[in-house]
Structure 1
Amino acid sequence: MAFPSRLLPWLAATIFFFIAQCQAKTVTYDWNVTWVTANPDGLADRQVVGINNQWPLPIIEVDKGDRLVVNMHNGLGDKSASIHFHGMYQTNTTEMDGPSMLTQCPVPPGSSITYNFTVNQNGTYWYHCHTDYCYPDGYRQALIVHDNSSYFADKYDEDLTITMTDWYHELTETIAPTFITVDNPTGAEPIPDSFLFNDTLNTKIPVEAGKTYLFRLINIGAFVAQYFYIEDHTMRIVEVDGIYTDEAEADILYISAAQRYTVLVTMKNSTEKNYPIVMVADSQLLDTIPSDLQLNQTNWLEYNSSAAFEQAVMTVSDCSDLNPYDDMGLVPHDRMALLENPDISLDLTVTMQVLDDGADYAFLNDISYTAPKVPALYTVMSAGDQATDATVYGDYTHSVVLEKDQIVEIILNNGDTGTHPFHLHGHAFQMIDRYPPYGPHFYDYADGDPITYNASNHTAFPEYPPRRDTFVLPPQGYFVVRFKADNPGVWFFHCHIDWHLAQGLAMVFIEAPLAIQSSVTIPQQHYGVCEAAGIATAGNAAGNTEDYTDLTGQNKQVAWLPGGFTARGIVALVFSCVSAFLGMGMIAFYGLSDIKKGGGQVQTRREEVREHED
């Protein structure tokens, strides 16, 4: 009896699955996280977060299907920690996602935690601390999932990882108090001191003529996006944020914090010249540019160690004149079709506003994310049937409860003049619209009135929308994304500029909470971390276990300003007061100083000047 031909694809897939399972292995890392001293830009020694007394940190490398186990001991002594494996969907393991006060407690000094999950994805990722300002101190590195079955596996000779990042000479605990403060009412972000390439500068990457290389490009920075190009070489994009794409040629890429591109680059046949690899920081994100800040960095493809290593020649006067590839033009290789007819549509607006303490905060629909007293996942696990009621997660976590398999649409309008790279945990979303697009008009609305999404008047949605987990929101523009709620868990949606996350630019999706209860088991060790940190493991956002709808005592965002004040108003008031004080000072100096008595009259300096003029 002949085997039915229609079943051959199913048989092949089944055989491949079992082969993959047989080949899968457990990859274990034992990490002691401590402070070490580093000076990657050659300008200043500083304390950084090291692993096993080493920095730069180790690159995690696994194969698709492997089990990854990371045993982390917090030896920092004075700082809590965690690990988020950025881009990992954590299917059925939301408890391993890592953000503090969402899926776990922060790991206090002297405590340990184990992350244990199966990697069922492929591509380019990274890991970083997800606890209060900790990853700008160097606690971040690449995570690579190798896949020998990718459609481009036979198209390259060697696989190389390139990270790019902003760099500060001071600890974030020193910088942070100068950021969210009454002394910084405009919310100007701290300016980096340097920009690094593979955690150093002036890197030479040896290459062989004629070979094709797979470059994995990762922005592991906390703030600044980078333009990236290789002089006189074309990049062919094959993956973004772990999603394989059809090949797309690009001369320049714009890579925000947390984004990844994987590109194929074929070398020239001649070895007479070395070629600059160029990073240009997006200066539009910087409120001021210090005279000693080098915005463009040159590293090299080394064809010939005896040839010159020349600095790149910039052909534009401003980075905004560079014209990067628009990731909206990518086509996913798997041809996943547009998710139609969303079950829930969230219309959100980003704003930055000054609150009652005089400091600048970030908002989604007037809510500035404020962490709960109990991790949201632990509220899910302890709330019973009430876990489906968004109330129990608090007024200021901006939690939205999703039902299993709902199609979710997020419309994000930007009322701020800066860009914001938004990241969604647990999913890669479909990017179905963005305006303005990358290119010469990207900053058109930065200095004018915002433009908002109009559901009845928009560009046609792509048939096969590109997908990624981090998408850039244009200045005073908008984007629209969709995803399917098919991964029960507690998932953060937030701006990946770490300063903006600290200001509250985030919200939470509680996805299929009853399914979470039936599928997730939180390890006893994780509960022990909470006990060591003095954090409750049951109750609502306020820690109330008697009445989950009673939020008395919950953490709250700072109070609003008195009625009638706005962010612009308070800033105008501050500067008006400053101007007034300066004016009064000038009057006092020129009008009242050096008072002299002459002929029984009071004579001022102004009158003296008039007398001399006469």
Structure 2
Amino acid sequence: MFGVLLVHGKPEAYNYDGEVTIALSDWYHRTAHENELWHLSKVARGVPPYPDSGLINGVGRYPCPYAKIQGRPCDTTLQLRPVFQFQRNKTYRVRLLNTGAVAAYNFSIDGHSLQTIEADGIDVRTPIVADIVPIAAGQRYSFLVRCNEASNNGSRYLIRANLRKESLLLIDGWNINQYPEALMGDVTAVLQCVDKDLSQQASRAVVTTEQHTCDDVVPPRSGSEDLIYLDEMALAPLDGISAPDHVDEDFMVSAVFFEGPEDNIRRGAFNYTPFKLPDDEPLLMKVIDGKSIADAYHLKIEYGSVVQLVINNPFFGPHPFHLHGHHFWIMGMGEWYDGDYDPSRHNLTVNGVKRDTVVVQEQSWAVIRFVADNPGLWTFHCHIDWHNLSGMSLVFLEGKEIVRDQIKVPEEAQRVCNLHSRSRDPHRFTHKSSTIKRGSINRHVHL
């Protein structure tokens, strides 16, 4: 199960008449447990389970002949795609999210440009116009869209979320998904322009569905040679604040895959150390209690410092890396096969995009910078679920003394932990309930 949570924490930076939310995802016919067991086995060799379908707002399609081979039911009357109705003289905010486990997409709307106004919750200073927007797992964007001048009442335009199969991997053609060729990467919805007054919809676009089966052919997009891809680095934040021009703490990590000597299972890791969740107390509780946590799993940073992280990806596949608790400036990023970061030949900028998820391309690099202004224990991980599962994660321990002295475990968290651990030690957790207050913002513990 998943859903979309919209947080309105400040006045709108741009005017629009209505809005619509589009959630992209991938879909598996096997259970999460089956996929996890396979991925954490020797035969997987670090390759994620190959998805069966791409979905828009939870609906999509799959070839029935392949379903029949597997003994699965396949009813084409239940294969759908969304239809979004826009009033022709209105401007709409399109909120786009990639909630998938692994798949990246190229998003576009035929006959329309996308004015990008937000990335990962950060408003953009000037709308950046693009025809195609690449979006990786965990990333979010907002666009302003208005039915073009050539539209009439009832005009229809394809919304395309082309699943980027080149980012999906197979080893010798083998995967838990025995039919990867059945994946239909041309995932679509429809933008329908209408004259009727939609004002009674509480500023929301009207969303319906229509039948779209595995037998329907998606027409190619015309004029593809002139399409403009989004220049992510041009998305300067609205507040005009650039990245700090100095660095207090500098770290370098490499995203790697390797076979551990204990079980010969190929795992994801940073610097050849796969992250492992504790089997007793959560890490935050250990810090609050003054207990030690493994040095290999965390990077200790001082509260208020400027932190720079160099991320190298020397192996196969791109990685969307996500940081909890902060937004960061992307100082620079390489193209595919650009090699590790080298300050002698790679330039950085303080005026790059600010967001919380950065894609590091295959055999390439990225450099991010953030201000450590939020005490806590914050995860930094690959947003491909399978890589995170196998260990491509670490935590920033930020303001250790502040965490230990001022953050306490809320009563509800204590109650749940006691229930979980009662069979071992019913008196393990004895913390008092409180919150840490900084300025006018109450910050509750993120477990």
Q: TM-score range by the shorter chain?
A: 0.7 to 0.9
Q: Deviations over 1:521-575 (max 9, x none)?
A: 3112211211222277679xxxxxxxxxxxxxxxxxxxxxxxxxxxxxxxxxxxx
Matched, 1:301 2:226: no
In structure 2, the residue corresponding to 1:502 is in which secondary structure? helix
Q: Where does residue 163 of structure 1 map in the other structure?
A: 23
* Preserved contact between residue 257 and residue 272 of structure 2 (Cα < 8 Å): no
Q: Scaled by the length of structure 1, what TM-score is found?
A: 0.58
Identity among equivalent positions (%) equals 30
Task: Find the aligned partners of 2:128 and 2:24 in 1 and give their Cα distance.
Answer: 22
Match 1:268 to one of 129, 148, 162: 148
Match 2:232 to one of 301, 323, 327: 327
Match 1:371 to one of 277, 281, 298: 277
1:417 is displaced (CA, Å) by 1.4
In structure 1, the residue corresponding to 2:44 is in which secondary structure? coil
Q: Where does residue 210 of structure 1 map in the other structure?
A: 89
Match 2:420 to one of 515, 533, 537: 533
Q: Where does residue 142 of structure 1 map in the other structure?
A: 4
1:219 is displaced (CA, Å) by 0.6
Q: Where does residue 199 of structure 1 map in the other structure?
A: 58
Matched, 1:256 2:136: yes
Instruction: Specify the code of the residue in structure 1 equivalent to 2:273.
Output: I
Match 1:506 to one of 393, 401, 413: 393
Q: Scaled by the length of structure 2, what TM-score is found?
A: 0.79
Q: Where does residue 123 of structure 1 map in the other structure?
A: none
Task: Find the aligned partners of 1:183 and 1:457 in 2 and give their Cα distance.
Answer: 39
Match 2:323 to one of 424, 429, 452: 424
Q: Deviations over 1:363-385 (max 9, x none)?
A: 211111011232111111111xx
1:298 is displaced (CA, Å) by 1.7
Structure 2 counterparts to residues 75-224 of structure 1, below 5 A: 138=1, 140-146=2-8, 149-152=11-14, 154=15, 156-185=16-45, 187-201=46-60, 202-224=81-103
Q: Deviations over 1:466-491 (max 9, x none)?
A: 11111101100000000011100110
Q: Where does residue 345 of structure 1 map in the other structure?
A: 250
* Structure 1 pair 183–151 and aligned structure 2 pair: CA distance change class (3 A): closer
* Structure 1 pair 148–411 and aligned structure 2 pair: CA distance change class (3 A): closer
1:315 is displaced (CA, Å) by 5.1
1:326 is displaced (CA, Å) by 2.6
Matched, 1:241 2:155: no
In structure 1, the residue corresponding to 2:345 is in which secondary structure? coil
1:308 is displaced (CA, Å) by 12
Ranges in structure 2 where 5+ consecutive residues have no aligned partner: 61-80, 171-178, 195-207, 431-447
Match 1:393 to one of 293, 300, 308: 293
Task: Find the aligned partners of 1:183 and 1:312 in 2 and give their Cα distance.
Answer: 36
Q: CA RMSD in A?
A: 2.5
1:333 is displaced (CA, Å) by 0.8
* Structure 1 pair 414–538 and aligned structure 2 pair: CA distance change class (3 A): farther
* Structure 1 pair 323–478 and aligned structure 2 pair: CA distance change class (3 A): farther
* Preserved contact between residue 25 and residue 58 of structure 2 (Cα < 8 Å): yes
1:341 is displaced (CA, Å) by 1.7
Structure 2 counterparts to residues 457-472 of structure 1, below 5 A: 457-462=345-350, 464-472=351-359
Instruction: Specify the code of the residue in structure 1 equivalent to 2:5.
Output: L
Task: Find the aligned partners of 1:298 and 1:466 in 2 and give their Cα distance.
Answer: 28
* Preserved contact between residue 276 and residue 311 of structure 1 (Cα < 8 Å): no
Q: Where does residue 63 of structure 2 map in the other structure?
A: none
Q: Deviations over 1:96-119 (max 9, x none)?
A: xxxxxxxxxxxxxxxxxxxxxxxx
Instruction: Specify the code of the residue in structure 2 equivalent to 1:239.
Output: E
* Structure 1 pair 485–251 and aligned structure 2 pair: CA distance change class (3 A): same
Q: Deviations over 1:419-450 (max 9, x none)?
A: 100000000011010001xxxxxx4x2xxxx6
Task: Find the aligned partners of 2:353 and 2:38 in 1 and give their Cα distance.
Answer: 39
Task: Find the aligned partners of 2:128 and 2:180 in 1 and give their Cα distance.
Answer: 37
* Structure 1 pair 149–476 and aligned structure 2 pair: CA distance change class (3 A): same
Q: Where does residue 441 of structure 2 map in the other structure?
A: none
Match 2:342 to one of 444, 454, 468: 454
Match 1:359 to one of 260, 265, 274: 265
* Preserved contact between residue 51 and residue 180 of structure 2 (Cα < 8 Å): no
Task: Find the aligned partners of 2:383 and 2:9 in 1 and give their Cα distance.
Answer: 27
Task: Find the aligned partners of 1:314 and 1:486 in 2 and give their Cα distance.
Answer: 48
Ranges in structure 1 where 5+ consecutive residues have no aligned partner: 1-137, 437-442, 540-614
* Preserved contact between residue 374 and residue 538 of structure 1 (Cα < 8 Å): no
Instruction: Specify the code of the residue in structure 2 equivalent to 1:169.
Output: H
Task: Find the aligned partners of 2:369 and 2:8 in 1 and give their Cα distance.
Answer: 27
Task: Find the aligned partners of 1:515 and 1:371 in 2 and give their Cα distance.
Answer: 23
1:340 is displaced (CA, Å) by 1.9
Structure 2 counterparts to residues 465-484 of structure 1, below 5 A: 465-484=352-371
Instruction: Specify the code of the residue in structure 1 equivalent to 2:339.
Output: I
Task: Find the aligned partners of 2:58 and 2:140 in 1 and give their Cα distance.
Answer: 16
1:146 is displaced (CA, Å) by 3.0
* Preserved contact between residue 110 and residue 221 of structure 2 (Cα < 8 Å): no
* Structure 1 pair 478–148 and aligned structure 2 pair: CA distance change class (3 A): closer
Q: Where does residue 291 of structure 1 map in the other structure?
A: 181
* Preserved contact between residue 334 and residue 365 of structure 2 (Cα < 8 Å): yes
Task: Find the aligned partners of 2:429 and 2:134 in 1 and give their Cα distance.
Answer: 43
Structure 2 counterparts to residues 590-605 of structure 1, below 5 A: none
Q: Where does residue 575 of structure 1 map in the other structure?
A: none
* Preserved contact between residue 256 and residue 472 of structure 1 (Cα < 8 Å): yes
Q: Deviations over 1:254-305 (max 9, x none)?
A: 1111100011011124325200000111101222472321011121011259
* Structure 1 pair 315–204 and aligned structure 2 pair: CA distance change class (3 A): closer
1:404 is displaced (CA, Å) by 1.0
**Structure whose alpha-carbon radius of gyration is higher:** 1
Instruction: Specify the code of the residue in structure 2 equivalent to 1:353.
Output: F
